[in-house]
Chain A
Amino acid sequence: MTAIKKIWKFISSMRFAIILLAVLAAACTAGSLVTQGQDYAWYARRYSERTAALILALRLDDAFHSWWFILISAFLCVNLLLCSVLRLPQLIRRTKAAADPRAALRAPDGALAEGLSDPRPVFRRLRMPAPVESSTDDGRRALFAAKNRAGFWGAWICHLGILLLIAGFGLGQMTQKQYAVYGVPGQSRPIGDTGCVLRIDDFRVDLREDDTVAQYTADITVFGPSGEGGTGSSATVSVNNPASLFGMKFYQNSTGWAATVSVAEKGAPLQEEIVCAGEYLLVADKPDLAICFNAFYPDYVMTPGSRPATASGRLNNPAYLYSVYYREQMIGMNVLMADEELTIDDYTVTFSKPQNYTLIQVKADRFTPLALLGGLITMLGLLLALYVLPASVWAVQTGDGSWTLHGASRKGGALFREQVLRAAQAERTAPEKGDKNDASD
Chain B
Amino acid sequence: MLQIENTLFTIVMLAYFAAMILYFTFIGVQKEPIAKAAVSLQCAGFALHTAALVCRGIGAGRLPLTNQYEFATCFAWGLCLVCLVFVFRYRFTVLGAFAAPVIFLIIGYAAMQSREVRELMPALRSNWLGFHVSTAIIAYGAFGVSFVLSVIFLLRDRIKAGGFLDHHIPNREKLDAISYRSVSLGLLFLTFTIVTGAIWAERAWGSYWSWDPKETWSLVTWIVYAIYLHLRIRRGWQGRSAAVFAAVGFICVMFTYIGVNTLLPGVHSYA
Contact = CB atoms under 8 A, between A and B. Distances in A.
Interface of A: 14-15, 17-18, 21-22, 24-25, 28-29, 31-33, 35-36, 64, 169, 178, 208, 210, 212-216, 238-242, 249, 251, 253, 361, 363, 368, 371-372, 375-376, 378-379, 382-383, 386-387, 411-415, 418, 440-441
B226 interface: yes
B18 interface: no
Interface stretch (B45-53, B65-73, B203-211): B203-211
A432 B231 CA distance: 42
Given A28-B219, A240-B126, A375-B198, A383 B211 contact: no
Nearest to B265: A35
Given A371-B208, A383-B188, A413-B173, A21 B217 contact: no
B220 A213 contact: no
Given A240-B125, A363-B206, A368-B208, 11 more contacts: A24-B223, A31-B216, A32-B217, A169-B209, A213-B121, A251-B206, A361-B206, A372-B199, A375-B194, A383-B188, A440-B89
A97 B220 CA distance: 37
B251 to A, nearest CB: 12
Nearest to B217: A32
Interface of B: 89-90, 118-119, 121-123, 125-126, 171, 173-174, 176-178, 180-181, 184-185, 187-188, 191-192, 194-195, 198-199, 202-209, 211, 213, 216-217, 219-220, 223-224, 226-227, 230-231, 233-234, 260, 264-265
A208 B230 CA distance: 51
A21 B227 contact: yes
B146 to A, nearest CB: 13
A215 B174 contact: no
Chain B binding site: helix, strand, loop or mixed by DSSP?
helix
A368 B171 CA distance: 47
Contacts of A253: 205-206
A413 B177 CA distance: 7
Contacts, number: 117
Contacts of A379: 188, 191-192, 195
16 contacts: A18-B227, A21-B230, A22-B223, A25-B224, A32-B213, A215-B122, A239-B125, A240-B203, A253-B205, A363-B207, A378-B195, A386-B188, A413-B177, A414-B176, A415-B90, A415-B181
Nearest to A36: B211
Contact of A32 (B191, B202, B216): B216
Kindly list the 6 A-B residue pairs having the minimum CB-CB distance in the complex, ordered from nearest.
A239-B122, A386-B184, A251-B206, A32-B216, A25-B223, A375-B195
A251 B205 contact: yes
Contacts of A215: 122, 125
Given A24-B223, A363-B206, A415-B181, A14 B234 contact: yes
